[in-house]
Amino acid sequence: MSAEHLDRDVQFRGLSAEQRELLMIQVAKRYYELDMTMGDLAKELGLTRWQASRLLSDARESGIVRIEIVPRAPRSPELESRLQRRFGLKDAVVVPQSPEDDDALLLDSVAQAAARLIAGLGKVPLIGVSWGRTMSAVARRLPPFWNEGVEVVLLNGAMNIRSPSTRTNNTAELFARAANGMATLLPVPAILGHAATRLALEQDPTIAGVLALGRRAPVICFGMGAVAPDSVLVQSGFVSEAEQARLRAKGAVGDILSRYIDAQGAIVDPELDARTIGLDLRFCAEREFSIGVAAGRAKHAIALACLRAGYLNVLVTDEETALFLLDETHRG
């Protein structure tokens, strides 16, 4: 360190609390209001760059400088930060809501937020998606050419037994179409009648190739299904209402990728799971971005289960769901 810098450091350390505060204000004004570089403002005030940086940091910590995040899209940054800290997430998006919001409006708001997040990831060559009402809503909110040329692979079987009033199994096609990309489908039922049939299908080179592609996807995005009569798995004919009642009695709180889990994220019925075709849940945590999307009170329990099990590292949800997840009574 030069003699000049040593002299400056001695003077800096000898400042009174009042002098230091006044200097913090001068540094902050030049940096935030006058857009001066750290080097220029340090030179003007007779400081080293390290001293100027330290004063700016102290100004933020003491409350002299307050940085407010004001997103242009409706967001709740404070709740997002709490979710990230609580569950160790890479990111969280929380959409504010009002008492007047009905389920359809809430789903659309959360879907828009998820679509913006996905489009903002940049150039991702391969993305895996599930199907269902939530993911269909996300797909319809993606901006044109959001990731031009992307390959989108379906992560779970989607060939319906019954056709519900609203088509929800063409998510991969919708994602790819919006990006002028290509969809790789999994043209088999989500749940089969026998485990042996699933094993045989998974040995077919075509099906095996699609499943392997899904395991390689660096980014996956999935919705979360509730244990309810309007579940897409029930409406599509994969699970009867009686079977769903039995699953609920065994502790099921919902499904992801067509797999029913309990409050801790464990598979509730191994026999049913052995008949289910799709990405194994243990691969979810290994993705660079594993994005879960949940909207509405019916998704509270399944969202909490997914967070507890670590199946996702990015959550997109609504304000009420976020507050439920952060409730201290749900720790453990």
Most confident of 99-108, 155-164, 187-196, 261-270: 261-270
> Which of 69-83, 93-107, 110-124, 213-227 shows the lowest mean pLDDT across its residues?
69-83
> What is the residue-wise DSSP string for 32-67?
IIS---HHHHHHHHT--HHHHHHHHHHHHHHTSS--
User: For position 6, what pLDDT does the model report?
Assistant: 46
User: For position 36, what pLDDT does the model report?
Assistant: 87
User: For position 204, what pLDDT does the model report?
Assistant: 95
Which residues are within 8 A (CB) of 175 and not within 5 positions of it... i.e. 6 or more apart?
A: 127, 129, 139, 142, 150, 152, 181, 183
Confidence label for 269 from pLDDT (cuts 50, 70 and 90):
very high
Asked if the model's pLDDT at residue 100 lies above 80, the reply is no
Please, what are the domains in the chain?
A: 3-62 (1.10.10), 77-330 (3.40.50.1360)
Taking residues 129-144, report their average pLDDT: 94
* 238 token code pair: 């994969």
User: For position 164, what pLDDT does the model report?
Assistant: 61
Asked if the model's pLDDT at residue 80 lies above 60, the reply is yes
The CA-atom distances, in angstroms, between 170 and each of 57, 129, 131, 132, 186 are: 50, 10, 7, 9, 11
Asked if the model's pLDDT at residue 51 lies above 80, the reply is yes
> Which of 18-22, 77-81, 309-313 shows the lowest mean pLDDT across its residues?
18-22
What is the per-residue pLDDT across 1-45, written as a single tens digit (0 to 9) for each?
444 454 455 466 667 888 888 888 888 888 888 888 888 988 888
User: For position 3, what pLDDT does the model report?
Assistant: 44
User: For position 292, what pLDDT does the model report?
Assistant: 98
Asked if the model's pLDDT at residue 308 lies above 70, the reply is yes
